[in-house]
Structure 1
Amino acid sequence: MKKAAIAILFLFFTVNLFAQENRVGNYGFRLGLTAHPNFGFIKAEGGKGNGVNLGFSYGLIGDFNFAENYSFSTGLTITTINGKSTEVNSAQYQLGNTAAVDIKYMMQYVELPLTIKLKTGDYNGVRWYGQFGLSNDVRISARQDAKSGNSVLANDVNSSDWTKFYRAGLIIGAGGEFNVGNKTSIMAGLTLNNGFTNITDNDYSVKNHFIAINFGVFF
């Protein structure tokens, strides 16, 4: 994990230096840090979702400003998406045709969002934005809890063998950037990350989603 973090920092600082020397339309590139909670939930064709669960995301964010009010916004974060479901006929927990299993998915990804951000003009140091794009996620950890009634079937087991390596999602968000210095601004907003790929190897589809309360600082 330490080597991965060093590699991520090296990559983004290299991109930042390159972007500062090669500005697009004199609007430039902005690099920042983010750390924020999210609230994950599951939708399962073989059952139903079972509430929301707290997760977390942290890492680097960047805006390539190609016009005064338009940016290509991306980043590289470690994102944990937790969620619970109640499923029947789970391929991993064979308990009969009608047995229901309560499963908690604890998934961690390296997330690379590819989005377009549309910003308003600057009003007293505040710029509002809307955001739309694609989430590209590569799994780095997968754990599960499972029980049926009072019977514990799994407790924090490694589920990498029956969960998908890649996850894609649709990103829709909005928020504001608040100028606090000559080149520094604080970002705050809400994002819906709507997963549209199956995260398991089951015959039926299981998808995870989350709503994030976004916080970040651009330098």
Structure 2
Amino acid sequence: MSADGYFPVNSIMKKTLFTLLLVGASASVASAQVEIGLKVSPSITYLRTESRSEQNFQNDKSKLSIGGGLIVDYFFGENYAFSTGFLLAGKGGTISYRDVASDTNTDLVTRTQKIGLQYLEVPVTVKLYTNDVATDTKIYFQVGGSANVAIASKINGNKFYNDPATSEGETKALKHFIFPDAALLLGAGVEYQVGQSTKLLAGISYHRGLVNLDRYFDKTRGFDGVTIKNNEIALDLGIKF
């Protein structure tokens, strides 16, 4: 009570609001459900390219890759879950570009690079589930992104690359690319409950890279305006316990 005989209303309201927030948070934690599982994702990956017309960078071929790892779905409602995990993902593809011939330094030739990249990937997504569309079967939609770090790379099947247009010798393939990557992730699929806590899932997802991966053509070769980004279409197969 204050000196004039009245209760401090603002203080009471703050304490009441704080208590309600604590109660709500406790109830949310108590009712939350965590599902952990394993996933394998065969995929088709390719590289989106942009450049000035004189270099003419192009996506030449796609690449078959495979990834997988741990998935975690944290439900904050009956049909809503925060979905993350810790995955190993293969990406890359074949690009082509125009470059000077090594013997004349003036004539132009078309060169190709078959690029293979391996990432540690952490999805940061939300899954939205329908009610049962059949017995013990739900459809889900996934939206969000992923944070990725490159841990290995090969160019033309080798961990080192010798650029035929220069005399600098071999360079480490992994140093041709920026380590961190981020991607937009969109997906959809089906989950089928086969036991009290066991679920099978099958879906498809699209991963659109947002970061320019190139570090070699810009820094070492002096090509201006080159952009190389990951793209992936994956088949997601998994089991949750």
Q: State yes or no: 1:186 paired with 2:200.
A: yes
Offset, 1:51? 2.4
Q: State yes or no: 1:164 paired with 2:174.
A: no
Correspondent of 1:209 among 231, 234, 239: 231
Offset, 1:25? 5.3
Correspondent of 1:142 among 153, 156, 169: 153
Letter in 1 for 2:45: G
Q: State yes or no: 1:105 paired with 2:127.
A: no
Partner of 1:88: 98
Conserved? CA contact 1:89–1:96, under 8 Å: no
Offset, 1:44? 1.2
CA distance in 2, matches of 1:136, 1:97: 41
SS of the equivalent of 1:99 reads: strand
Q: State yes or no: 1:62 paired with 2:72.
A: yes
Offset, 1:43? 1.2
Offset, 1:65? 0.3
CA distance in 1, matches of 2:98, 2:201: 42
Offset, 1:199? 1.3
Q: 1:206 to 1:32 in 2, by over 3 A?
A: same
Offset, 1:100? 2.0
CA distance in 1, matches of 2:137, 2:61: 35
Letter in 2 for 1:77: L
Offset, 1:97? 7.2
CA distance in 1, matches of 2:108, 2:229: 22
Map 1:105-124 onto structure 2 (within 5 A). 105-122=115-132, 123-124=134-135
Letter in 2 for 1:145: N
Offset, 1:50? 1.4
CA distance in 1, matches of 2:38, 2:214: 31
* CA RMSD between the two structures: 2.5
Q: State yes or no: 1:218 paired with 2:240.
A: yes
SS of the equivalent of 2:69 reads: strand
- Give every structure 1 segment of 4 or more consecutive aligned residues whose post-TM-superposition deviation is greater than 3 Å: 95-98
Conserved? CA contact 1:44–1:87, under 8 Å: no
Identity of aligned residues (%): 30
Q: Which runs of 5+ in 1 are unaligned?
A: 1-21, 147-151
